[in-house]
Structure 1
Amino acid sequence: MKTSRFLAAAAAIILVAGGAIWYIVNDYYANQPKQQQQADVVMYKNEGCSCCERWANYMQDNGYTVNSINAENLYALKAEEGISQNLGSCHTAIVGDYVVEGHVPAEDIKRLLREQPDAKGLVVPGMPESSPGMNTALNKPYDVLLLKNDGSTEVFAQH
């Protein structure tokens, strides 16, 4: 009889301790700062644009999931996202809460998501020959610009 009471008490203690440990571990992980997840990319482009598809493949090679959408009115989308004509390129993407215009390198997008600046996003105006997806020239320098909320820009990265 004493053995059965002992076993019942031990089982109860183990059950309560296990529940407490589960609660502590679960609470610990729930209260950790959220790491920025690799955001999916929604890319709007004109149908048949091969350099856009090359950029999408490049992004996929860098761990992103890309949803490519043929836009009926790409210029309207650019205007809605605050991309002026002088900053435009052949495609406009949405990554997380940011707009990404043109052939922006994956490492710059990762930095944008990590730092989370108060801005609209990143732009690579035009179609620089050595940018990802273009790949028609090597080592031709170009800038990636941070597009601020007021529409102004500053250099975010140089390649």
Structure 2
Amino acid sequence: MRKLLNTLCLAAFVWGTAPAMAGENEVMLYKNPQCGCCEGHAEHLRQNGFKVTEQATHNLAQMSSEAGIPEEFQGCHLAFVDGYVVSGHVPASTVRKLLTERPDIKGVTLPGMPTGSPGMPGPKEGPLEVLEITKSGTVGGVYARE
């Protein structure tokens, strides 16, 4: 009887948390149709346990603005993961940190296309500074350095 009760409790826990865990690993990534580095970043996320769905679009700047990313801080692709917006070549470890800490922000961005960032060729030239985007759509400072 005790073994059955333990099994039922475990099943209830797994069933109750499975959607939340799946959502944390699902990434919807919008990219410019001609951008090869965006595909490299998607592969980086996949190699780090994320399930990435890609969608090519010619409206990336507009979508990024509508998502609350100021124009001067937009990356070359835009992702949505478990309620957060992630712009640019943000390392998977920073995305995991975001999902673990669950800060009260809109998301994060790594503006531009820094050499050596996930998906970009060449050696990394110093730490990557991932910026936080506040709920009001302003840059709130550095969220992570990698």
Interval of TM-score (by shorter of Structure 1 and Structure 2): 0.7 to 0.9
Larger Rg: 1
Pairing 1:86-97 to 2, within 5 Å after superposition = 86-97=72-83
Structure 1 alignment gaps of length 5 or more: 1-17
Say if 1:60 and 1:79 are closer, same or farther in 2 by CA, change over 3 A.
same
Instruction: Confirm whether residue 112 of structure 1 aligns to residue 94 of structure 2.
Output: no
TM-score of the superposed pair, with normalisation by structure 2: 0.85
Structure 2 alignment gaps of length 5 or more: none
Q: CA RMSD in A?
A: 2.2
Deviations 1:39-62 (A, max 9, x none): 211110110200000101111111
Residue 5 of structure 1 aligns with which residue?
Answer: none
Deviations 1:6-61 (A, max 9, x none): xxxxxxxxxxxx3x653465246646995862421111011020000010111111
Of the candidates 121, 130, 134, which is equivalent to residue 144 of structure 1?
130
Say if 1:31 and 1:58 are closer, same or farther in 2 by CA, change over 3 A.
closer
Letter in 1 for 2:144: A
- Decide whether the 8 Å contact of 1:93 with 1:101 is kept in 2: yes
Q: How far apart, CA to CA, are the structure 2 residues paired with 1:97 and 1:48?
A: 27
- Pairwise CA distance, 1:145: 1.0
Letter in 2 for 1:91: H
TM-score of the superposed pair, with normalisation by structure 1: 0.78
Deviations 1:98-117 (A, max 9, x none): 10000000000001001111
Identity %: 36
Q: How far apart, CA to CA, are the structure 2 residues paired with 1:28 and 1:64?
A: 25
Say if 1:58 and 1:28 are closer, same or farther in 2 by CA, change over 3 A.
closer
Residue 81 of structure 1 aligns with which residue?
Answer: 67
Residue 144 of structure 2 aligns with which residue?
Answer: 157
Q: Give the SS at the match of 2:58.
A: coil
Of the candidates 44, 47, 55, which is equivalent to residue 30 of structure 2?
44
- Decide whether the 8 Å contact of 1:43 with 1:91 is kept in 2: yes
- Decide whether the 8 Å contact of 2:68 with 2:136 is kept in 1: no
Letter in 1 for 2:38: C
Say if 1:28 and 1:67 are closer, same or farther in 2 by CA, change over 3 A.
closer
- Decide whether the 8 Å contact of 2:88 with 2:109 is kept in 1: yes
Instruction: Confirm whether residue 129 of structure 1 aligns to residue 111 of structure 2.
Output: no
Task: Specify which structure has the bigger relative contact order, considering alpha-carbon pairs within 8 angstroms and separated by 6 or more residues.
Answer: 2
